[in-house]
A and B are shown apart, each in its own frame.
Chain A
Amino acid sequence: MDKYIEMIRIRFLMMLAYRTNYYTGILIYSINIGAYYFLWSAIYGEKDAIEGMSVIQMSTYVAVAWMARAFYFNNIDREMAAEIKEGKVAVELIRPYNYLGMKTMQGLGEGIFRLFFFSVPGMVIVSFIFPLQFSADWTTWIFFAVSIILSFFINTQINLLTGITTFFLFNNTGLIRAKRVVIDLFSGLLIPISFFPLWAQDVLKFLPFQGISYVPSMIFTNSFSNNEAIQAIIMQGIWVLILIIPIQVLWIIAKKQLIIQGG
C-alpha cells in the first residue's frame, strides 16, 4: 500500500512543478461557470423553479459540477495511450506493482492537488461573484464527500478502459475525444439529467455516466432527499464494482498480445 500512497505524493509533486498552468485553469473554469450562470438565469426568467430546482440551486449546481470536475477529471487515458505507443509501458511491466492501480493513484494525486489548489479556492472566488447556496446540514457534506470519491473512481475506470483500447486499436485519439464529450454531456455536467427528456433519462439510468457529475452535484445542492441520495450513492458503488470486470478482462487480453514498440 505504501507504494501506492508514495505514487500519489509523486504525482502531487509533479503537479506542483507545473502549478502555473492552474492559474489560467481557474480563470477558464470561472468563465465557464459564469457563462452557464447567465444562460440559466435567462432560461429561468421569472420562473421560481424548473424541474424542482430553484435558480439559486441551479447556479450552485453549475458551480459545484465544474469544481467537482476538477477533482475527478484526469488525462490518464491519454497518458496510457502515449505510454503504450512509445513503448514506455515495457518499463511499467518490470515493476512489482499493478500498472492500472498505479495509474489510478496518479489520477488521485492529480485530483487531490486540484481539489486543494483549484476547486476549493475556485469555489470561494465563485461564491463571491454569484449567489450560491451551501448546505448547513453536515449529512449533505458527508454524502457529497462519499459521492465525489465514487465519481472519481467511475470516471477513472472509464479512462482506464479507454486507455487499454490503445493495445487493440492502431489509433484511439478519436475515441478518447469522443469519450470526453460523452461524459461531459451524459454525466450531467452541462445539463442536469432531470432536464433531459424522459426517455433519455430512462436510458441514462442504465449507464454509469450520471454517477460522475449529476449525483454529487444534486447531493450538494440538496436537490435529493436523503433517501434518494443514499440510493444514488449505492448505484455509484455498484457501477464501480461492475466496471472492474471489463477492465480486468481487457487487461489480461492486452498483456497476452502485448507488443512493445521500439528497441
Chain B
Amino acid sequence: MNDAITVRNLKKEFKAYSSRSGLKGAFRDLLTRNYKIVPAVNNISFQVKQGEMVGYIGENGAGKSTTIKMLTGILTPTTGEVIVNGMNPHKDREKFVSTIGVVFGQRSQLWWDIAVQESFRLLKKVYKVSDEQYDSHMAHVIRTLDIEPLLDKPVRKLSLGQRMRCELAAALIHNPPLLFLDEPTIGLDVLVKLKIREFLKEINEKYNTTILLTTHDLSDIEALCERVVMLDEGKIIYDGALKSLKEKWGEGKEIEFQFLEDVTLNDLNRITASSEVKWEKDEKEAIFTAFAEDNDELISLLIAKVVADLKVKDINIKETSTEEIIRNIYDRGIS
C-alpha cells in the first residue's frame, strides 16, 4: 500500500445552465431552465506513489481544480473511483481529511480578522496536534518560510506573498503525508515563489511528503516535479516524466551564428554536409540558424566544424522551452 492516490475512470459532470432570451424567455426560465451536461473531468485514471511530486497541468478550465476537489472529498464524483491515502474521501470524512493538507491559491483558509497565530492555534486543536509535535515541526516550518514576524498580524493586513506563506504553513500544521496545492504561486513575485519551491522540496525530502501541484506557471513544475500529468478538456493527454516530454516534443536545438565575414547558406551546408542539420538565414540581421537534433555530441561537433572554417562573432544555443512544447501540444494535439 504505497500509492498515495489511485484514480480510476473518474468523471465529473456539471449542469451548465443557459438563459433563454427576452422577457418571455425569462419567465420560461423561472419554470424550467435549459441546461447542458458538461463533463469537467472526463474518465481519467492515474496513480501517484507516496513521496512523488507531480505537476498537474492544463489550461484554464481543463478540470484541474475539479479533480483536486474530488480527491479532497469536497465534490462527489459522477462516476469512477478515488482512493486517497487508502481511503475513500467521502467515507470517514473527518479521519480522511486529517491525512491531507490543501492550499487553494485563490482562497484563504485563515481567519481574516484575527492574528495568524490564533488561526494556527485553532488548527492545532482541530488537528489534535500535540505541543511537542507542534513545536518540533512548526518551528522549522515557520523558520524556513520566514513568517515569524507575521504571526501576530491579522491576515487581512498581509500582502499576498506573506499570506500565501502563512497559508502553506497552516496546511502543514498536522504534517500531512499528502499535500494538494491548487495554484499556490498565482500572483506571487519571483522571490516568494523561489522560497515556496525551496520549502516544498525540503519537506518532500524530509518527510517524504507526496505533493500534487496544479499551476499554469511551468517554471514551478520544472523546478519541482519530475512527473507531469497534462489535462486537456477533462482528459489526460500526457502522463509521464517531464524529461521525456521534452525529448519527445522538444523541437531539438537551435544554434544561432553571427559571422565576421560574408557567408552564404551554401558555404554552411557544405561545411556541415556530413551531419543532419538544416540552416536558415535571417536576411536582415545576418543571423544564421542551425536546427539540429537535441544531442550534445552532434551539437558540439557542428559548432567545432563551423568555428574551424569561419570567423565567428557570436554563438547562441537555444532550447525549446517547456512552455513552447506545451503550447505546441495544445495547438497540434498529442498524436
A binding-site residues for B, Cβ under 8 Å: 2-3, 6-7, 10, 13-14, 17-18, 87-88, 90-91, 93-98, 256, 258-260, 262-263
B69 touches A96 (CB 8 A): no
Question: In the complex, what residues of A have CB within 8 A of residue B20's CB?
Answer: none
Question: In the complex, what residues of B have CB within 8 A of residue A7's CB?
Answer: 122
Q: Which residue of B lies closest to A89 (CB)?
A: B74
A96 touches B97 (CB 8 A): yes
Nearest Cβ on chain A to B178's Cβ, whole angstroms: 12
The CA-CA distance from A90 to B97 in the complex, in Å, is: 12
B binding-site residues for A, Cβ under 8 Å: 14, 65, 69, 72-76, 93-95, 97-98, 100, 102, 104, 106-109, 111, 113-114, 118, 121-122, 125-128, 154, 182-183
User: A14-B113, A88-B107, A97-B126 are known contacts. Are A260 and B69 too (CB-CB below 8 A)?
Assistant: yes
Question: In the complex, what residues of A have CB within 8 A of residue B122's CB?
Answer: 3, 6-7, 10
The CA-CA distance from A7 to B286 in the complex, in Å, is: 70
The CA-CA distance from A3 to B111 in the complex, in Å, is: 15
Nearest Cβ on chain A to B93's Cβ, whole angstroms: 8
Nearest Cβ on chain A to B215's Cβ, whole angstroms: 12
Given contacts A90-B104, A91-B102, A91-B109, 14 further A-B contacts (CB under 8 A): A3-B125, A3-B128, A6-B121, A90-B69, A93-B93, A94-B97, A94-B102, A96-B97, A96-B127, A97-B94, A259-B14, A260-B69, A262-B106, A263-B106
Nearest Cβ on chain A to B109's Cβ, whole angstroms: 4
Q: Select which of B72, B108, B111, B114 is within 8 A of A94 by beta carbon.
A: B72
The CA-CA distance from A3 to B94 in the complex, in Å, is: 13
Q: Which residue of B lies closest to A256 (CB)?
A: B76
Question: In the complex, what residues of A have CB within 8 A of residue B74's CB?
Answer: 90, 93-94, 258, 260
Question: In the complex, what residues of B have CB within 8 A of residue A6's CB?
Answer: 121-122, 125-126
A17 touches B114 (CB 8 A): yes
Q: Select which of A96, A259, A263 is within 8 A of B94 by beta carbon.
A: A96
User: A3-B126, A96-B126 are known contacts. Are A14 and B98 too (CB-CB below 8 A)?
Assistant: no
The CA-CA distance from A96 to B72 in the complex, in Å, is: 12
The CA-CA distance from A3 to B124 in the complex, in Å, is: 9
Nearest Cβ on chain B to A263's Cβ, whole angstroms: 5
Nearest Cβ on chain B to A186's Cβ, whole angstroms: 30
A2 touches B102 (CB 8 A): no
A10 touches B126 (CB 8 A): no
The CA-CA distance from A91 to B106 in the complex, in Å, is: 11
A13 touches B100 (CB 8 A): no
Question: In the complex, what residues of A have CB within 8 A of residue B102's CB?
Answer: 91, 94
Would you list 20 pairs from A and B whose C-beta atoms are within 8 A, ordered by A residue?
A2-B125, A3-B122, A10-B114, A17-B113, A90-B69, A90-B104, A91-B102, A91-B108, A93-B73, A93-B93, A93-B97, A94-B73, A94-B102, A96-B94, A96-B95, A96-B98, A260-B69, A260-B74, A262-B106, A263-B183
The CA-CA distance from A259 to B70 in the complex, in Å, is: 11
The CA-CA distance from A96 to B154 in the complex, in Å, is: 24
Q: Select which of A95, A256, A258, A260 is within 8 A of B97 by beta carbon.
A: A95
Question: In the complex, what residues of A have CB within 8 A of residue B114's CB?
Answer: 10, 13-14, 17
Q: Which residue of A lies closest to B100 (CB)?
A: A94
Nearest Cβ on chain A to B242's Cβ, whole angstroms: 24
A14 touches B75 (CB 8 A): no
User: A259-B14, A263-B106 are known contacts. Are A13 and B127 too (CB-CB below 8 A)?
Assistant: no
Question: In the complex, what residues of B have CB within 8 A of residue A97's CB?
Answer: 94, 126
The CA-CA distance from A259 to B107 in the complex, in Å, is: 16
